[in-house]
Structure 1
Amino acid sequence: MAVVLPFEPKDPSIETLVRLVKGDMERVNALILSRTGSDVAMIPEVATHLISSGGKRLRPMLTIACAALSDYEGEGHIKLAASVEFMHTATLLHDDVVDESDMRRGKLAARKVWGNEASVLVGDFLLGQAFKMMVEVGILECLDILSTAACTIAEGEVMQLAAAKNTETSEDDYLAVIRGKTAELFAAACEVGAVLNHRPKAEQTACRSFGMNLGIAFQLVDDVLDYGGSQAKLGKNIGDDFREGKITLPVILAFRRGDAQERAFWKEALEQSETSDEQLQKAIALLIKHRALADTLERAQHYGAMARDALALFGPSPVKDALVEAVDFAISRGY
């Protein structure tokens, strides 16, 4: 008689992707550390504080993986992946100043240790190093993609600043913000991997679409985790978005679906310079009442499905499977 064993599906993990790109990422990390060097002592201190603080390095891993997906065999992907990570780190340094954040990846934000001025200027230094490495690779189209991304990210940040505390922000407005401030770098990181090997335009576009949709899904899950995650996972305080008056998709949905009294609460709480723990708990209760967190996760699943579909153009391979699992991992963080 046959014995039927219960099937227990494995939780999605990013570890397969990490393992596949491990060798190249060791070279990327070594390059990152070497390029933070400066005769100005504060620059490597500030840069290393954030760079060595345990980030997942997801964006440069995507550059490495998409180069492998495109059968690239050169060296340019190492410098482009390091450039992507420097761009990301620079935006984090700048963001923490704009948002007046105290924590980043479970540590004091650089601005709390060295001050706002140093954080901004070291971010500028890292952007400069990123562009130097792009030029060294010598492929104009890659430089164009990443420099355009830098402009788009800045536009997204300014759009978010303009939308802060504005409860009239629509879902379309918000999606435009996160396409710019978050998803654009995911998209560019993936696209340059295919451009490096001069792959057909359809493959380049597919890699860009994968990154863009993954980036949107990733940010939507982050929006949920800010109200329902753990501080250990986030590396920042729960409710930071709420305290900073950020209008994210869960807030937009709860505000639209609420009654007049509930909308008055959101307006008052988000416009205050300081909010209480009691207000945060009430906000979370309203988000749950109106399914705002659950529906934001559904939106994330939708964009995750589009990211997976974008990879259908490529034949079977371990790196393709790892990228698909990375999408599942990004979304499963919200559960």
Structure 2
Amino acid sequence: MNLDQASTKPHELLAAHLDAKMKAVDTLIHDRMMSKHAPRIPEVTAHLVDAGGKRLRPMLTLAAAELCGYTGAYDVHLAGTVEFIHTATLLHDDVVDESAQRRGRPTANLLWDNKSSVLVGDYLFSRAFQLMVEPGSLRVLDILSNAAATIAEGEVLQLTAAQDLRTDESIYLQVVRGKTAALFSAATEVGGVIAGAHEAEINALHAYGDALGIAFQIVDDLLDYQGDSKATGKNVGDDFRERKLTLPVIKAVAKANEEERAFWSRTIEKGRQEDGDLEHALALLHKHNALDATRRDALDWAEKAKQAMAELPDHPLRELLIDLADYVVARIN
């Protein structure tokens, strides 16, 4: 099946299967984002929460819990926690990146201001910690609080690594594990923990989320250089213009001669970009097969995610999560 062209995508099938639980998550989010004293908090939060994202991360928590046989109510709390952490990081990211658009709409920092975005993000982190305490599991608290710290660490690492030509693939992977994969793996892992799953299953869920998150980010970075801007919501070359050293460029830099390295230094490290530089960058990526190599890496990580699912019980959700890994990379096939 061509998952990218299928009439119903795996994440849509997942959403349909989890519909009742996701409605409970939405109700919880809207209830907990309220503030008695600061009406700007729900205004800013609603702008992002109601923007129509896929809600993939909370769905992963609900799916993992159900897959492992959980029948209680705290999976909804943990899914809400995951979504609050994600929303808080988006608010902070848009300030750091000076973004003007997200999901096709003006960013909160553009509509309000940077101060509001940062402080509302802080409020949502606090709400996330209140929610993650409620199930009364120290292990769940450990996993999610570690994820929050890892995300922040990854973002700070990216500040120094993104414009430094010495950044290699291992540092890139560390950044991606921080800013993207940490929340995916925490989302799936806590679903298994709350269900009381066997250690092998919990480890498999963590491995699945980790590999899925890495594949997800690599695909995003690849599509920046070869995607359809209507489909991605980004212009081709945005990462280049923003001087972000992502995997395709890291691969090209590793094979660069002296003249090419000087080009990357001027455009990425020093930020002195001129007309025609993006076209030259694309030519260098093709010359060194950097885009094909990046594509293979994304497919490899998707395969690792699928292999991790072998440890989990036979269940329709297991097949949906396997299809989801294929779908994440279907856009680059």
Instruction: Tell me if the contact between 1:83 and 1:131 (Cα under 8 Å) persists in the aligned partners.
Output: yes
Paired residues of 1:191 and 1:204 also in contact (CA < 8 A): yes
Name the amino acid aligned to 1:210.
Answer: Y
Match of 1:324 among 290, 303, 322: 322
1:280 is matched with 278
Quick one: which amino acid aligns to residue 18 of structure 2? Answer: V
Q: Which runs of 5+ in 2 are unaligned?
A: none
Displacement, 1:274?
6.5
1:252-311 deviations in whole A, cap 9, x for unaligned?
001112222222111111134464562222222222222211111110111111111111
Distance 1:105 1:234 in 2: 9
What residue in structure 2 maps to residue 194 of structure 1? 192
Q: Give 2:17's aligned residue.
A: 20
Q: Is the 8 A contact 2:266 2:272 kept in 1?
A: no
Contact 2:34 2:41 in 1 (8 A): yes
* Aligned equivalent of 1:11, options 3, 14, 21: 3
Show CA shifts across 1:58-109 (max 9, x none): 1111001000110100000101001101101111111111111221111111
3-state SS of 1:56 partner: coil
Let me know the Cα RMSD of the aligned residues: 1.5
Is the contact between residue 239 and residue 280 of structure 1 (CA under 8 Å) also seen in structure 2? yes
Aligned pair in 2 of structure 1 residues 65, 277: CA closer, same or farther (>3 Å)? farther
1:232 Cα deviation (Å)? 2.9
Secondary structure (helix, strand or coil) at the match of 2:134 reads helix
**Contact 1:106–1:232 (CA<8 Å) still a contact in 2?**
no
Q: Secondary structure at the match of 2:164?
A: coil
2:89 to 88, 91, 94: 91
Contact 1:107/1:235 (8 A) holds in 2 = no
Partner of residue 53, structure 2: 55
> CA distance change for structure 1 residues 27 and 276 in 2, over 3 Å: closer, same or farther?
farther
* Shift, 1:245, TM fit: 1.4
Q: Is the 8 A contact 2:302 2:325 kept in 1?
A: yes
The aligned length equals 327
- TM-fit CA distance, 1:134: 0.8
Report matched runs for 1:152-171 at 5 Å.
152-171=150-169
Tell me the distance in 1 between the aligned counterparts of 2:272 and 2:133: 45
Q: Show the counterpart of 2:233.
A: 235
Q: Is the 8 A contact 1:83 1:130 kept in 2?
A: yes
C-alpha distance after superposition, 1:28-77 (max 9, x if no partner)? 11211222211312111111111111211111110010001101000001
Deviation at 1:24, TM superposition (A): 0.9
**Are residues 183 and 277 of structure 1, via their aligned partners in 2, closer, same or farther at CA, if it must alter by over 3 Å?**
farther
Identify the residue that residue 266 of structure 1 maps to in structure 2: 264
The aligned amino acid for 1:270 is: I
* Higher deviation after alignment, 135-144 or 81-90: 135-144
Equivalent residue of 1:137, what SS? coil
Task: Structure 1 unaligned segments of length 5 or more: list them.
Answer: 1-8
Q: 1:147 to 1:256 in 2, by over 3 A?
A: same
Identity of paired residues, percent? 50
2:101 aligned residue: 103
Q: TM-score, normalised by structure 1?
A: 0.94
Is 1:256 matched up with 2:248?
no
2 CA distance for matches of 1:199 and 1:284?
47
Query: Is 2:26 the counterpart of 1:29?
Result: yes
User: Distance between the aligned counterparts of 1:278 and 1:47, measured in 2?
Assistant: 39
Equivalent-residue separation in structure 1 for 2:317 and 2:46 (angstroms): 30
**Which string of whole-angstrom CA distances, capped at 9 and with x for unpartnered residues, describes residues 130-160 of structure 1?**
1111112221211110001101111111111
Q: Who is 2:78 aligned against?
A: 80
Aligned-partner Cα distance in 2 for 1:323–1:282: 39
Deviates more, 1:119-128 or 1:281-290: 281-290
Larger displacement relative to structure 2 (97-106 or 115-124): 97-106
Letter in 2 for 1:186: F
